[in-house]
Amino acid sequence: MTDASALPGQPRGVVGSGPATARAVNVLAPNPSAMTLDGTNTWILAEPDSDLAVVIDPGPLDEGHLRAVVDTAEKAGRRIALTLLTHGHADHAEGAGRFAELTGTRVRALDPALRLGDEGLAAGDVITTGGLELRVVPTPGHTSDSLSFHLPADRAVLTGDTILGRGTTMVAHPDGRLGDYLDSLRRLRSLTVDDGVHTVLPGHGPVLEDAQGAVEFYLAHRAHRLAQVETAVENGHRGAADVVAHVYADVDRSLWPAAELSVRAQLEYLGEHGLI
């Protein structure tokens, strides 16, 4: 068995529902898959002495899961006062409308199409609910509407799919762009260096105890993959599917469609920078 402390980001044990930090509780959605890992992490955030809570990413449209989120908050003596979305993929956002009905909350997101209520989310926004402070961090790249949320009191960041608790994420071309994604990773690295963030609360997979290590691993992985794609093209592998078969030969074929999206983003990036 591999020591978790030796893995990128120092993942914290088994993924499951329960407290992760002083202010964050996970409710794991029952939607495991190759793409969602153990399932979607739905986060309930609250100050320890507050009766108000914020939920990030209600998850799929699964009535049992949505009610479990409400029940978890209520058993802790809290009312859910606000719902936030990291991005619009169905495994994070599909249940938001029904969740809003169950809780009577607004839904705030970067994409206006996902909002319920007048307020959206934008870079630099500071959200305060029941004494809890969350800072909105734009992290496009996985998707154009991807956001992260900085939780200063716990020295943590909620990353949605920008950084996962295990493995790496895809750049969902054409909506996602590699240049944006690399900029977002650098932005998250600055949180670890300048703001003392040490914990990643991801959208899928285990909590990561070494946020800076996780970001550095992601940056190194992207640089390595980009070099592999560039070399593959130089060796005559032209189409995205051909590049995937060459570069991702050791990756489970069920992940190849996602890999192809990332490769398309990498080819676009290399072309824009005159490297192919």
Q: Catalogue the active-site residues.
A: 91
Contacts of 27 (CB under 8 A, 6+ apart): 17, 41, 42, 43, 44, 65, 68, 69, 72
Which amino acid appears at position 162 of this protein?
Answer: T
As a whole number of angstroms, the longest Cα–Cα distance in the chain is 62
Alpha-carbon distances, residue 106 vs 58, 91, 129, 204, 211 (angstroms): 12, 19, 13, 24, 30
Helices marked H in the chain — which ranges? 63-75, 90-93, 96-103, 178-194, 211-234, 240-247, 256-272
Q: How buried is residue 141: exposed, middle or buried, by Cβ count under 10 Å (0-12/13-18/19+)?
A: buried
Q: Is the Cβ–Cβ distance between 208 and 202 less than 8 Å?
A: yes
Report the side by side order of strands in the sheet with 147-151. Answer: 126-129, 132-138, 147-151, 156-160, 199-202
Cα torsion angle, 244, 247, 248, 249, sign: positive
Neighbours of 185 (CB within 10 A): 22
Separation of alpha carbons 41 and 31, rounded Å = 10
- Report the length, in residues, of the chain: 276
